[in-house]
């Protein structure tokens, strides 16, 4: 991700008798999008001292901080880009993609920025006013549906969040967990219900009804789950259908799936707790400690 700025952070400035200033401010602060590191200082004007008789004065200054947090997305697709070329690499097994029709996500682009392509976080290596180039590693091709892309295919695009991004969806990392196959598409008025079956059934434990899931990078609400059969459903309203690539995919098509990372963290914490013994072991240790203390007290008498 390129540098993002967080300006107008107040800092205390001490000015000595010669007007020299020392900025007193933290090197690192924490914001809503992660850790910010101080990178530039805009000092206040020097004080007008008139010799030793003028005591140190205080003023204020503006600091500039750059974000150093991990790349994140919101799952709100900004635009549909088009694959204009694919260049497989015989040496590495990876592929270089050139995406066109992408002007809206390149307005503030820099080399090294992250853009979500069908829900996969990729690094921009070159760009023009309306196209950008990304490299796709062999592991990414194996874990996602990017390996099946062809020239002319549409892809969901979203820039990484900035300090002023509105959170319209949910926190999406751009790390695809698995690929799901579209089992069925069922019209429901102007909406369409998609039934999806993940290749890796282990992800089903993180998918819950009314929870979030990212499909090809789009934040959607789960409407139904069948853990036994190993599928889940989402509904795409008419507005969404025209703005994401998933809507046009046929039955049998592949969709990138990233489950809600909060579910992963919650599951890991709970599993670790019970693997460590959970309540029974903790209670047992507490009782043993009470008994030992009582016995020690009796022996002391």
Q: Name the residues annotated as catalytic.
A: 73, 114, 121, 123, 137, 175, 221
Q: Which residues, 6+ apart, have CB-to-CB distance to 202 below 8 Å?
A: none
Helices (H) and strands (E) in the chain, counts: 4, 17
Task: Name the nearest CA neighbour of 41 among 22, 54, 56.
Answer: 22
What is residue 242's three-state secondary structure? Answer: coil
What is residue 148's three-state secondary structure? Answer: helix
The values of phi and psi at residue 202, to 5°, are -65, -25
289: which strand partners?
Answer: none
122: which strand partners?
Answer: 115
Burial of 291 (0-12, 13-18, 19+ CB in 10 A): exposed
Tell me the C-alpha distance between 273 and 276, whole Å. 5
Tell me the C-alpha distance between 285 and 290, whole Å. 9
Tell me the C-alpha distance between 297 and 237, whole Å. 70
Tell me the C-alpha distance between 16 and 4, whole Å. 33
* Contact (CB, 8 A) for 75 and 157: no
């Amino acid at each position: 991700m390129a540098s993002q700025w967080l300006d107008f952070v107040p800092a205390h400035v001490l000015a000595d008798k010669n007007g020299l200033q020392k900025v007193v401010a933290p090197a690192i602060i924490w914001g809503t999008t992660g850790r910010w590191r101080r990178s530039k200082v805009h000092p206040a004007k020097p004080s007008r001292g008139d010799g030793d008789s003028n005591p140190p004065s205080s003023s204020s200054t503006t600091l500039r901080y750059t974000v150093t947090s991990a790349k994140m997305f919101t799952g709100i697709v900004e635009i549909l880009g088009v694959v204009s070329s694919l260049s497989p690499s015989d040496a590495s097994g990876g592929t270089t993609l050139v995406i066109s029709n992408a002007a809206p996500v390149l307005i503030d682009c820099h080399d090294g920025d992250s853009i979500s392509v069908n829900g996969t976080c990729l690094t921009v290596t070159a760009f023009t006013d309306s196209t950008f180039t990304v490299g796709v590693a062999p592991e990414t091709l194996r874990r996602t549906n990017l390996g099946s892309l062809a020239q002319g295919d549409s892809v969901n695009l979203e820039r990484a969040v900035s300090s002023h991004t509105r959170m319209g969806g949910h926190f999406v990392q751009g790390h695809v967990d698995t690929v799901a196959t579209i089992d069925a598409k069922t019209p429901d008025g102007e909406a369409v219900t998609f039934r999806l079956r993940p290749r890796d059934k282990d992800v089903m434990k993180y998918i819950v009804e009314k929870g979030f899931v990212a499909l090809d990078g789009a934040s959607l609400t789960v409407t139904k789950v069948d853990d036994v059969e190993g599928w889940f459903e989402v509904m795409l309203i008419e507005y969404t259908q025209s703005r994401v690539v998933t809507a046009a995919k046929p039955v049998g098509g592949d969709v990138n799936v990233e489950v809600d990372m909060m579910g992963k963290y919650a599951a890991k914490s709970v599993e670790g707790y019970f693997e460590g013994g959970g309540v029974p072991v903790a209670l047992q240790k507490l009782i043993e400690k009470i008994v030992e203390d009582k016995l020690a007290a009796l022996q002391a008498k």
